[in-house]
Amino acid sequence: MPAARRDLGLIAGLAVLVWLAIERTETCDRIFAWIAANPDSEADSLVLALVLAALGVAVFAVRRVRELQTAIRARALAEQETHRLAYHDPLTGLPNRRALSERLHEAERFREPIELVLLDLDRFKTVNDIHGHASGDRLLREVATRIQAALDTGQRAFRLGGDEFAVVVPGAIGRRRFADPLAGRLVNALSQPFAEGSLVHHIGASAGIARYPQDAPDSAAILRAADVALYGAKDGGRNRWLGFAPEMDDQIRRRAWLEQEIRGGVAAGEFEPHFQPIVTLVTGEIVGYEVLARWQRADGQQILPDAFIPIADECGLISELTLSILETACLRTRDWRGQPTIHFNLSPTQLRDRWLSEKLLAVLARTGFPPQRIGIEITEDAIIADQENARRVIESLKNLGATIALDDFGTGYSSLHNLRSLPFDRIKIDRSFVRDLDRGANAQAEKIVRGIVSLAHSLELPVTAEGIESAAVARRLARIGCETGQGYFFGRPQPNQAEPRKRIGVARSGAAAAA
């Protein structure tokens, strides 16, 4: 375009020069005088033709310039569109990871103080797995809308891919943190239910915040620092936000160390089963034991499962760990008096293993333990993660003669659908409700326990209550109609067979109601 313009200018300039020259030399006057003096020469027609040709050239030039202008506009639009595609997420329309990375570079180049909020949805995968990708896509668009609605002027949201989002908050001045209130608003906005037709999704989000330049020397480090903070927020129970702190790096290092230790511990056989008795509430008779993992370290320390099961689960060691504990448990309890059933816990990731039932069967065959004496406890999130495979595994375990309990009922989705869709044999009420039975404001807890028990009974499923710490609670549960129970009152988890405890005396105070 500039070339065409230059040409036009040149032609116009030339025309003016020629005109001036003609004016100066009075050429026109001379030509007209000559034409007038020689009327037979036809030179007047020639001049007319020349003038018309010049006009034609001028019209052509203007049209050409117009055409060029249109082509240039189209090219600029195409360029804009390519840029938009390269820097935006097509699903939500938000700028993408590349755009964020350039924004961070820009901040670094101009030493502009900024805060970065990283957001990660908490249960998005479940929605995607159960309701399909179309549903997941709609949810992500709605998430993007809520994020943008929470922003103040100057704050910009990005989608980094999957269920990860980010917001750049400019202008962190001194100790003032603009990102903190924003992160609070975001976590809150995303914890509200999402309605989609007749469905309601409950997801939630965790957020991590890092500040440049306080928390990180450059643009790559700020992303990492925010990620570390996000990880801390998730680890601390999700649905919350955390600002980066240098100690967090130490925590991550500690975790990596723990992972190594667990690996070594599994290889060295440091994981052991402990057994907690499960009793019939009314008679106090022991009917089985729950197998609970304990880590007996070489240095004499004993570590409880909450400190290693989640890590073993994440780093892919859970299967090996559980199978080795099961093997020891089978060997140790095989000849216990009364032939009690042993109940062990399976984590959600284990239930996704297609070969799980074959692996369990191999352990039972090796140890000569009858499958009918095996009970398996699974939580609802295990079913949600992959219902089809869960069903397959559960059915093949049941075919062996094992029984299946739904563990921690009341804490998760507590869905009737889950209860009915899979062939459970028993429900376990989570110990948080049982604990509350013993407290001052326990009318609510009692209502919940009654509700769960009557729901279970309407499906003809017996109920086990866990976490019973006193005779009073045991009696109350028996009166409500709970069949079996476990807890420190009846016996703590220990490495060998427990002595049966005395009856709790429900027979006298309300056996009729319990029976």
Sites of contact with Ca ion (CB under 5 A)? 345, 377, 407-408
Its sign, for the CA torsion 390, 395, 401, 404, is positive
CB of 105 to Ca ion, least distance (A): 49
Q: Residue 17 binds what, of ligand C2E, Ca ion, none (CB under 5 to 8 Å, by partner type)?
A: none
CB of 422 to ligand C2E, least distance (A): 18
Question: Least distance in Å: CB of 306 to Ca ion?
Answer: 12
Q: Which listed option, Ca ion, ligand C2E, none, makes contact with residue 340 (CB within 5 to 8 Å by class)?
A: none
The residue within the footprint of ligand C2E, chosen from 118, 309, 317, 482 (CB under 6 A), is: 309
CB of 491 to ligand C2E, least distance (A): 9
The angle subtended at Cα 47 by Cα 46 and Cα 53, nearest 5°, is 90
Instruction: Report the alpha-carbon distance of residue 481 to residue 463 in Å, rounded.
Output: 8
At closest approach, how far in Å is the CB of 276 from Ca ion? 9
CA 345 to each of CA 77, 293, 349, 403, 491: distance values in angstroms, whole numbers, following the listed order: 60, 9, 12, 12, 19
**Cβ proximity to ligand C2E, 288 vs 493, nearer residue:** 493
Partner that binds at residue 305, options Ca ion, ligand C2E, none, CB closer than 5 to 8 Å by kind: ligand C2E
d(CA 31, CA 41): 12
Q: Tell me the closest approach of the beta carbon of residue 412 to ligand C2E, in angstroms.
A: 12
128, 345, 357, 403: which one binds ligand C2E (CB under 6 A): 345
**Contacted by 424, from ligand C2E, Ca ion, none: CB < 5 to 8 Å by type:** none
Nearest residue to Ca ion, scored by beta-carbon proximity: 377
The DSSP string of 312-368 is HHHTT-HHHHHHHHHHHHHHHHTT-TT--EEEEE--HHHHT-TTHHHHHHHHHHHHT
Peptide bond just before 462 cis, omega within 30 deg = no
Structure tokens at 100: 């964020």
Spatial separation of the C-alpha atoms in residues 437 and 445, rounded to whole Å = 6
105 vs 492, beta carbon nearer ligand C2E: 492
Which single residue is written with the structure tokens 């376990």?
Answer: 428
Task: Report in angstroms how near the CB of residue 121 gets to ligand C2E at its nearest.
Answer: 24
Q: Which does 513 bind (CB under 5 to 8 A by kind): Ca ion, ligand C2E, none?
A: none
Stretch that binds ligand C2E, among 4-12, 14-22, 118-126, 345-353 (CB under 6 A): 345-353
Considering CB distances under 5 to 8 angstroms, the limit depending on partner class, which of ligand C2E, Ca ion, none binds residue 478? none
When binding is defined by CB under 6 A, the residue of 205, 225, 292, 382 that contacts ligand C2E is 292
β-pairing verdict for 374-378 and 164-170 = unpaired
Binding partner of residue 333 among Ca ion, ligand C2E, none, CB under 5 to 8 Å per kind? none
**Number of residues near ligand C2E (by CB under 6 A):** 25
Phi, psi of 491 (to 5 degrees): 160, 140
- 405: which strand partners? 377, 426
Judged by beta carbon, residue 261 or residue 272, the one nearer Ca ion is 272
Site residues for ligand C2E, 358-387, by CB under 6 A, read 377
The 460-499 contact track toward ligand C2E, x by CB under 6 A, reads ------xxxx----------------xxx----x------
Tell the smallest beta-carbon distance from residue 213 to ligand C2E (Å): 42
- Which two three-digit tokens encode residue 168? 């750049």
Within 245-284, which residues bind ligand C2E (CB under 6 A)? 276
Angstrom distances, CA of residue 41 to CA of 27, 48, 210 = 18, 14, 91
The residue (of 380 and 408) whose beta carbon lies closer to Ca ion is 408
Instruction: Enumerate the β-bridge partners of residue 345.
Output: 377
Contact assessment for residue 291 and residue 325, using Cβ atoms and an 8 Å cutoff: yes
Tell me the residue type at 279.
V
Cα–Cα distance between 376 and 3 in angstroms, integer?
81
Give the residue, chosen from 12, 304, 362, 416, that forms a contact with ligand C2E under the rule CB under 6 A: 304
Nearest residue (CB) to ligand C2E, 92 versus 345 = 345
Cβ partners under 8 Å of residue 81, min gap 6: none
CB of 500 to Ca ion, least distance (A): 21
The set of long-range contacts for 309-314, using a CB threshold of 8 Å and a minimum separation of 24, is 309/347, 311/255, 311/258, 311/259, 311/262, 312/262, 312/266, 313/347, 313/348, 313/349
Element (H, E) at 172: none
**By CB under 6 A, what part of segment 315-344 binds ligand C2E?**
322, 325, 344
Shortest distance, position 349 Cβ to Ca ion, whole Å: 16
Which of Ca ion, ligand C2E, none is residue 276 near (CB under 5 to 8 Å by kind)? ligand C2E
- CB nearer to ligand C2E: give 311 or 455: 311
Q: Which does 348 bind (CB under 5 to 8 A by kind): Ca ion, ligand C2E, none?
A: none
Residue 498 CB, nearest distance to ligand C2E (Å)?
Answer: 12
514 contact, one of ligand C2E, Ca ion, none, CB 5-8 Å limit per kind? none
Residue 30 φ then ψ, to 5°: -65, -45
Longest dimension (CA), the chain: 147
- What is the C-alpha to C-alpha distance for residues 359 and 200, in angstroms, rounded to an integer? 38
Among 115, 215, 407, 483, binds ligand C2E (CB under 6 A): 407
Give the binding site for ligand C2E (CB under 6 A): 276, 292-293, 304-306, 309, 322, 325, 344-347, 377, 407-408, 431, 466-469, 486-488, 493
